[in-house]
Structure 1
Amino acid sequence: MNARSTVSLVGDTGRGNEAAILNAALEAFGAKGFHGASMRDVARGAGTSLSNLYNYFPSKSRLLAEVLRHANDELVTRLHVAVDEAGDDAAPRMREAVRAYVRFVVDHQLAMVVSTNEVRYLAGEDRERLVVDRDATQAVFEDIVAQGAASGEFRTPHPADAARTVLSALAGVAQWYRPDGRLSRGQLAEQQARYALALLESPLAR
């Protein structure tokens, strides 16, 4: 896989080498996929023993779930900070939410690719928790679109579909973005924000 995260997904958690394990798991899942990566691969990448790895995570599924939870938690945090700082109007809030999402994708591209490609291997409680987390991410955009549609800032006659389309486009950036591409991090964020506002039929897209 060519995509690489530019920033470690998990910082120091205060729990020994848990952060090293989660970052190693991300690299292993990104390189080999969920089925191809082994717990031994993760332990080796984290510089720890296999028995110590199992002290932290009892299964590979739980390890994947925790990696994806950390990714979604940081994404949601960035979105809320960006939206809160954007003021009260829907269009600026959408612009900043999209920018924050794109910056997260650039910083943690590998995490986004793993989240898209490997989530199907989660089941039961692990999957249910992730669905709740992803619903929180989706709600940020749905709430802004609903606000803009009600106020007249967004003229699309299909606000619910438009919100889903914006999210799908943003998630797709991780599949094609390349650090050596023609657009800088900021330019890419601005481009996607303009696309989103155009889709919502906002005058600010012009």
Structure 2
Amino acid sequence: MNSRSAAAALISETGRGTKAAILNAALAAFGEKGFNGASTRDVAAGAGTSLSNLYNYFPSKSHLLAELLQRANDELLNRTSAAVQAAGDDPADRMREAVKAYVGFVVDHQTAALVAISEIRYLHGEHRERIVRARDSTQAIFGEIIAEGVAQGRFTTPYPDGAARNIVSMCSAISTWYRAGGRLSRKALAEQHARYALALLETRD
């Protein structure tokens, strides 16, 4: 069986016991055991630090999860925005590059992408509201491209809002099944999903 893609560090580390090391250890623990199954003791051990030092940075597991998901959403938003800005004016080209950027993020940070869709249910109140706003900002990029394409007659889908949601869901779901070394290369995977998105939008040449 193919293994999952090698985990890339979501946050650059400068040493053991740092805030970055704690966040990366939390990501590994949540990815392996889930939010409920992982303890702060697991996270501290993974970061090579003490519980007291961990609590200096994060008062609770919820604070850890919220910070991780915010970092992941920020990275995804930055990648997607940059790809769209570099793609030119054609909505189809912009959508193609947005999807490729999203797929690239999921492949590079598969554990973070998986935790983002599976563990957000454990956040409540202000933490959850903040992450939902961040997630919606990324989906809004896709929605804006679709609106432009529909207005220009480039996309003919009668369901633009549903299309945006489904494209984002399709990309994020890659985290649940992708295996490094599998049949599809990173490039082929991105190209395939870009074509799926353009087909869903009923793109005209």
Task: Identify whether the pair has TM-score above 0.5, normalized to the shorter chain.
Answer: yes
Other-structure match for 2:146: 145
Find the aligned partners of 1:17 and 1:5 in 2 and give their Cα distance. Answer: 22
Find the aligned partners of 2:129 and 2:194 in 1 and give their Cα distance. Answer: 30
* Conserved? CA contact 1:28–1:41, under 8 Å: yes
Instruction: Give the superposition deviation at 1:50.
Output: 0.7
Instruction: Give the superposition deviation at 1:103.
Output: 0.3
Other-structure match for 1:33: 34
In structure 1, the residue corresponding to 2:119 is in which secondary structure?
helix
In structure 1, the residue corresponding to 2:82 is in which secondary structure?
helix
Other-structure match for 2:106: 105
Gaps of 5+ in 1: none
Find the aligned partners of 2:26 and 2:5 in 1 and give their Cα distance. Answer: 13
- Kindly provide the CA deviation profile for residues 124-147 of structure 1, in whole angstroms up to 9, marking residues without a partner as x: 110010011011011010000011
Other-structure match for 1:22: 23
Percent of paired sites with the same residue: 63
- Kindly provide the CA deviation profile for residues 176-198 of structure 1, in whole angstroms up to 9, marking residues without a partner as x: 11102111111100000011001
* TM-score (normalised: structure 2): 0.95
Deviates more, 1:4-13 or 1:90-99: 4-13
Find the aligned partners of 1:4 and 1:118 in 2 and give their Cα distance. Answer: 20
Deviates more, 1:96-105 or 1:179-188: 179-188
Query: How do 1:172-187 and structure 2 match up within 5 A?
Result: 172-187=173-188
Tell me: CA distance 1:48–1:4, structure 2 relative to 1, closer, same or farther (3 Å): farther
Query: How do 1:9-158 and structure 2 match up within 5 A?
Result: 9-12=10-13, 17-158=18-159
Find the aligned partners of 2:27 and 2:4 in 1 and give their Cα distance. Answer: 12
Find the aligned partners of 1:13 and 1:159 in 2 and give their Cα distance. Answer: 44
Other-structure match for 1:193: 194
Find the aligned partners of 2:126 and 2:5 in 1 and give their Cα distance. Answer: 29
* TM-score (normalised: structure 1): 0.94
Find the aligned partners of 2:80 and 2:23 in 1 and give their Cα distance. Answer: 23
Aligned-pair Cα RMSD in Å: 1.5
- Kindly provide the CA deviation profile for residues 106-162 of structure 1, in whole angstroms up to 9, marking residues without a partner as x: 000011111111110000110010011011011010000011001011011111111
Instruction: Give the superposition deviation at 1:3.
Output: 4.1
- Kindly provide the CA deviation profile for residues 5-51 of structure 1, in whole angstroms up to 9, marking residues without a partner as x: 5310111489x711110000000001111111000000000011110
In structure 1, the residue corresponding to 2:128 is in which secondary structure?
helix
Amino acid at match of 1:68: L
Amino acid at match of 1:52: N
* Conserved? CA contact 1:6–1:108, under 8 Å: yes
